[in-house]
């Protein structure tokens, strides 16, 4: 994925936009099934050094099966965001794929910087997947670096990487071939793998697929056995990137199962969920199949995308998850639910005993948008490391917050709304307690504000619409910084917004300002527009609050 202020990753991908592309995919699938039929042999004398591959699975040195549950982080474009790894860990991730540069296209990450990244990963108890991003789209993207130059970069970091085999996976190059002659991917990939091994690197090596990582022509699938055999240690894992090419369950299950059946190691090294102009990725199936097959996944991406629909956290703020972030961290088969810390940090396989349930929580300091929650501590045979606070609605649970102590402040609540809340405890191994008893609180009615909102639909089409909102400050002083909140009455969703940054949870939408709409002048207004999805009806929201205060509507 190309990301950050420098990129728009969605824009560079050629997706299956024609019947011909689908026919090629089907043919590649058939060839892949034939080629992947054999089980890869492991080198008889290969010795497990740290993270390694055995029987098609990623294991730790002690034999514990490690399943990556994490995200991508654009370190090379945002080197000042040094808190990100810690923030990602607090959301439950056990691994982070870190974007680096070998200097061909962006500023080179020095050995000192890479050493600091590794140290931060270890301090925050996450496994590091390090990747060179300069190779993205080689053969189609004129600025891209060769995979051979990426291999040279890793060899130049040999002293930094030495001894980190328990903590680091080397992803040779990101999406190292575009859509132009993707068959050319195979030989350079084999050569790069051999070059790293000849130089003495013993880490597990990851290779990305061609077709901008999505392998829609099946080249990696058809040649996976040959690439795997090129690694004399047998410690190589394949990475498929799943975006809008993978918009049906069948495509996802067929691809992943072909590798699993052949006992060829694979993970979803990048994936997106929000719909784009090429299609709507089926992230639900991606995550469900990864969980069912015990395969890793690494969502794109923590923050800093040019297209903010792919930001998991808005503005690198762990307390402002987007709807995409809520899905990844707190949704079904998400990170909070399925992640287990690597045993090298004391988590994982040997401790299977869950903590006791926390005591019944109590609520205090309830306002229209926030509340404090506290509860008696849980106990554990090793130690409780975190608590997860959930909202209970019938048989459905939605994670609202996490805490390392026995209290939390819940923010972003809807006014005049009843919340039934409960708490889970987790230990370092990822074991989760049974749920605590529940407590119900009702947020206060919001105050009346000096604001007015005009909402109108300006265009509609089957399944979608465009709307705009004018937010007026009716007061005598400027409004600096704000959050606009409203709820869709018929299941609509925001897909793209300008003038604001949306976060949607179920029907509730919270909009933060864009850089150019932060201030609403006294007696002035700002405009927000968006496109969205809809069902058969498209009724307008009827109530709006600005920073928790009720606005009049027109």
Query: Which residue from 453, 445, 447, 455 is spatially nearest to 474, judged by alpha carbons?
Result: 453
Structure tokens at 243: 């975006």
Provide the residue range defining the domain that includes 407: 362-443
Burial 67-95 (b: 16+ CB within 10 A, else e): bbbbbbbbbbbbeebeebbebbbebbbbb
Residue scoring higher pLDDT (313 or 278): 313
Residue 1: its pLDDT value, please? 64
Across 439-452, average pLDDT:
91
Predicted local confidence at residue 44, as pLDDT? 33
Residues 277 and 138 in one domain: yes
Tokens representing 30 are 């058939």
Cβ-contact 126, 168 below 8 angstroms = no
For residue 269, is it within any domain?
A: yes
Is there a domain that residue 206 lies in? yes
What's the confidence (pLDDT) of residue 349? 47
Helices (H) and strands (E) in the chain, counts: 11, 28
- Assign 476 a pLDDT band (cuts: 50, 70, 90): very high
- Considering the domain boundaries, does residue 255 fall inside one? yes
- The stretch 266-283 carries a mean pLDDT of 93
Quick: pLDDT tens for 484-502. 999 999 999 999 999 999 9
Identify whether 517 is part of a domain.
yes
CATH number at residue 396: 2.60.40.10
State whether 326 and 374 are in the same domain: no
> Which one of 406, 425, 443 terminates a domain?
443
- Write the DSSP assignment of 218-274 as a string of letters: -HHHHHHHHHHHT-TT--EEEEEEESTT--SHHHHHHHHHHHHHTT--EEEEEE--S
Residue 10 has pLDDT above 80, yes or no: no
User: 365 with 413: CB under 8 angstroms?
Assistant: no
- Averaged over 222-251, what is the pLDDT? 97
Say if residue 301 is preceded by a cis peptide, omega within 30 of 0: yes
Residue tagged 């055995």 (tokens): 54
Exposure of 328 by Cβ count < 10 A (0-12 exposed, 13-18 middle, 19+ buried)?
Answer: buried
Q: Answer yes or no: do 104 and 178 share one domain.
A: yes
Helix axis angle, 19-35 to 219-229, nearest 10°: 30
The number of C-alpha atoms within 13 Å of 330 and in the hemisphere containing its C-beta is 25
Number of domains in the chain: 3
Q: Which member of 140, 141, 175, 283 is catalytic?
A: 175
Q: Is the pLDDT of residue 428 over 80?
A: no
Same structural domain, 323 and 472: no
Please give the average per-residue pLDDT across 93-118, as a whole number: 97
pTM (2 decimals)? Answer: 0.64
User: Residue 397's pLDDT is what?
Assistant: 87
Looking at residue 101, which CATH number applies to its domain?
Answer: 3.20.20.80
Check: CB of residue 514 under 8 Å from CB of residue 501: yes
Q: Are strands 439-442 and 418-427 parallel, antiparallel or unpaired?
A: antiparallel
Q: Kindly report the backbone phi and psi dihedral angles of residue 352, in degrees, each rounded to the nearest multiple of 5, phi listed first.
A: -110, 0
Per-residue pLDDT tens over the stretch 353-407: 889 999 999 999 999 889 999 999 999 887 788 899 999 999 888 889 888 889 9
Give the list of residues 6+ apart from residue 239 with CB closer than 8 angstroms, or none.
171, 206, 207, 208, 209, 213, 266, 267, 268, 269, 270
- For the segment 209-225, the average pLDDT, to the nearest whole number, is 97
Pair (429, 400) in one structural domain = yes
Pairing of strands 508-513, 500-505: antiparallel
Measured at the alpha carbon of residue 34, what is the angle toward residues 28 and 37, in degrees to the nearest 5?
A: 130
The pLDDT assigned to 364 comes to: 96
Which of 270, 283, 289, 341 does the annotation list as catalytic? Answer: 270
Tell me whether residue 15 is in a domain: no
380 lies in the same domain as 469: no
What's the CATH number where 509 sits?
2.60.40.290
Domain boundary residue among 416, 443, 470?
443
Residue 251 annotated as catalytic: no
Q: pLDDT of 285-342, one tens digit each?
A: 999 999 999 999 999 999 999 888 899 999 999 988 999 999 999 888 999 889 999 9
State mean pLDDT over 425-429. Answer: 81
Confidence at residue 48, expressed as pLDDT on a 0 to 100 scale: 52
User: Which of the listed residues 400, 421, 443 is the one where a domain comes to its end?
Assistant: 443
Least-confidence region, from 64-73, 191-200, 444-453: 444-453
Report how far residue 164's alpha carbon sits from residue 49's, in angstroms, rounded to the nearest whole number: 10
In degrees, rounded to 5, the angle at the alpha carbon of residue 6 between the alpha carbons of residues 270 and 2 is 20
Over 60: is that where the pLDDT of 440 sits? yes
Cα dihedral sign for 335, 337, 338, 344? positive
- The pLDDT of residue 12 is 37
**One domain, residues 279 and 134:** yes
Nearest in space to 185 (alpha carbons), one of 176, 174, 193, 194: 176
Query: What number is the average pLDDT over the span 161-190?
Result: 97
d(CA 148, CA 329): 35
pLDDT bin (cut points 50, 70, 90) of residue 13 is very low
Q: Considering only CA atoms, which of 424, 342, 420 is closest in space to residue 384?
A: 424
Which SS3 state, helix, strand or coil, does residue 365 take? Answer: coil
pLDDT per position as a tens digit, 16-50: 333 333 334 444 444 444 445 444 444 433 445 79
Instruction: Output the CA angle 75-77-80, nearest 5 degrees.
Output: 65
Residue 244 is encoded by which pair of tokens? Answer: 């809008």
Residue 530 lies in a domain: yes
Q: Are residues 300 and 381 located together in one domain of the fold?
A: no
Q: Does residue 421 contact residue 438 with C-beta atoms inside 8 Å?
A: yes
114 and 231 inside one domain: yes
Q: Does 11 fall in a domain?
A: no
Whether residues 475 and 538 share a domain: the answer is yes
Residue 416 lies in a domain: yes
Burial of 12 (0-12, 13-18, 19+ CB in 10 A): middle
- Look up 270 and say whether it is catalytic: yes
- Indicate whether 4 pLDDT > 50: no
**Interaxial angle between packed helices 147-156 and 186-198, expressed in degrees from 0 to 180 and rounded to the nearest 10:** 10
Verify that 69 and 122 share a domain, yes or no: yes
Same domain, 388 and 531: no
In the structure encoding, which two tokens stand for residue 205, read together?
């090596």
């Amino acid at each position: 994925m190309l990301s950050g202020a420098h990129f728009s990753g969605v824009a560079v991908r050629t997706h299956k936009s024609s019947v011909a592309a689908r026919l090629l995919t089907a043919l590649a699938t058939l060839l892949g099934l034939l080629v992947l039929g054999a089980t890869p042999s492991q080198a008889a004398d290969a010795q497990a050094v740290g993270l390694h591959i055995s029987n098609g699975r990623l294991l730790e040195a002690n034999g514990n099966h490690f399943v990556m549950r994490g995200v991508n982080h654009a370190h090379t474009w945002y080197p000042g965001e040094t808190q990100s790894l810690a923030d990602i860990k607090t959301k439950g991730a056990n691994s982070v794929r870190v974007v680096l540069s070998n200097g061909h296209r962006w500023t080179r990450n020095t050995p000192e910087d890479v050493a600091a990244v590794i140290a931060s990963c270890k301090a925050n108890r996450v496994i590091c997947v390090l990747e060179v991003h300069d190779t993205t789209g080689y053969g189609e993207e004129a600025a891209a670096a060769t995979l051979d130059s990426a291999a040279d970069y890793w060899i130049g970091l040999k002293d930094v990487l030495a001894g980190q085999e328990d903590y680091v996976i080397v992803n040779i190059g990101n999406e190292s071939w575009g859509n132009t002659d993707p068959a050319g991917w195979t030989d350079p990939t084999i050569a790069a793998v051999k070059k790293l091994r000849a130089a003495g690197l013993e880490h597990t090596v990851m290779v990305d697929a061609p077709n901008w990582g999505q392998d829609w022509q099946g080249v990696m699938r058809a040649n996976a056995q040959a690439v795997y055999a090129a690694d004399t240690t047998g410690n190589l894992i394949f990475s498929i990137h799943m975006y809008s090419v993978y918009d049906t369950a069948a495509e996802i299950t067929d691809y992943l199962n072909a590798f699993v059946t052949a006992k060829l190691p694979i993970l979803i090294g990048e994936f997106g969920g929000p719909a784009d102009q090429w299609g709507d990725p089926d992230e639900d199936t991606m995550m469900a199949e990864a969980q069912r097959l015990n395969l890793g996944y690494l969502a794109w991406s923590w923050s800093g995308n040019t297209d903010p629909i792919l930001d998991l956290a808005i503005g690198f703020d762990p307390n402002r998850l987007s709807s995409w972030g809520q899905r990844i961290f707190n949704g079904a088969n998400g990170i909070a639910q399925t992640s287990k810390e690597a045993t090298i940090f004391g988590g994982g396989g040997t401790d299977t005993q869950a903590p006791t349930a926390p005591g019944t929580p109590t609520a205090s300091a309830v306002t229209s948008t926030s509340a404090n929650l506290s509860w008696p501590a849980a106990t554990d045979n090793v130690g409780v490391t975190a608590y997860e606070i959930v909202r209970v609605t019938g048989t459905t649970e939605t994670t609202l917050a996490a805490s390392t102590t026995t209290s939390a402040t819940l923010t972003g609540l809807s006014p005049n709304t009843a919340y039934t809340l409960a708490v889970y405890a987790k230990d370092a191994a990822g074991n989760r307690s049974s749920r605590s008893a529940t407590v119900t609180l009702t947020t206060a009615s919001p105050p009346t504000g000096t604001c007015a909102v005009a909402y109108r639909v300006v265009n509609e089409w089957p399944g979608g619409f465009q709307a705009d909102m004018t937010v007026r400050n009716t007061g005598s002083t400027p409004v600096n910084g704000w959050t606009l909140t409203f709820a869709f009455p018929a299941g609509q969703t925001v897909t793209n917004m300008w003038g604001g940054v949306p976060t949607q949870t179920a029907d509730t939408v919270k909009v933060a300002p864009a850089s150019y709409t932060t201030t609403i002048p006294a007696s002035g207004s700002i405009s927000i527009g968006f496109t969205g999805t809809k069902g058969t009806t498209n009724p307008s929201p009827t109530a709006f609050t600005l920073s928790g205060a009720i606005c009049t509507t027109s």
